[in-house]
């Protein structure tokens, strides 16, 4: 079992650009959540996807959007990047109806310059 996989592991973008991060959930999981972890802080919930719909959303602007595909994988898109978007972006998967806990990927380190 590969667990939760995220790509890329690192990337550097320029202010104003757009970025797409990808996540493949653990086998058997159907729910994907995204978190932003700024340096020295705890992870902050961005949103959660289930059955290809956004199920919950945290206090993040509309520049942050997502998608879930029929195979349960997910993308996080951030438009008009700001320096403050530099962070570790974590994806977590779970199986909603089975009440499983969240399993986290290794994260994508985004640096905005």
Partner 1 sequence: AQSVTQLGSHVSVSEGALVLLRCNYSSSVPPYLFWYVQYPNQGLQLLLKYTSAATLVKGINGFEAEFKKSETSFHLTKPSAHMSDAAEYFCAVSLEYGNKLVFGAGTILRVKS
Q: How far apart are CB 13 and partner 1 at their closest, in Å?
A: 19
- What is the contact surface with partner 1 in residues (CB under 8 A)? 4, 31, 33, 35, 40-45, 48, 56, 58, 90, 92, 94-96, 99-107, 109
Closest CA to 82 of 65, 108, 61: 61
Give the angle 67-70-72 at the CA atoms, nearest 5°. 70
Q: Which C-beta is closer to partner 1: that of 41 or that of 77?
A: 41
Q: How far apart are CB 88 and partner 1 at their closest, in Å?
A: 8
Residue 46 backbone zone (phi > 0: left; psi -120 to 50: alpha; other: beta)? alpha
Q: How far apart are CB 85 and partner 1 at their closest, in Å?
A: 19
Tell me the β-bridge partners of 56. 48
Q: Which C-beta is closer to partner 1: that of 73 or that of 106?
A: 106
């Amino acid at each position: 079992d590969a667990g939760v996989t995220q790509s890329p592991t690192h990337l550097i973008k320029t202010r104003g650009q757009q970025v797409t991060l990808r996540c493949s959930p653990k086998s058997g999981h159907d729910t994907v959540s995204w978190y932003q972890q700024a340096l020295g802080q705890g992870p902050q919930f961005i949103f959660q996807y289930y059955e290809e719909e956004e199920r919950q959303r945290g206090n993040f602007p509309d520049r942050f959007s997502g998608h879930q595909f029929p195979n349960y994988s997910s993308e996080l898109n951030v438009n008009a990047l700001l320096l403050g978007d530099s962070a570790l972006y974590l994806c977590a998967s779970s199986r909603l109806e089975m009440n499983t806990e969240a399993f986290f990927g290794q994260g994508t380190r985004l640096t905005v310059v």
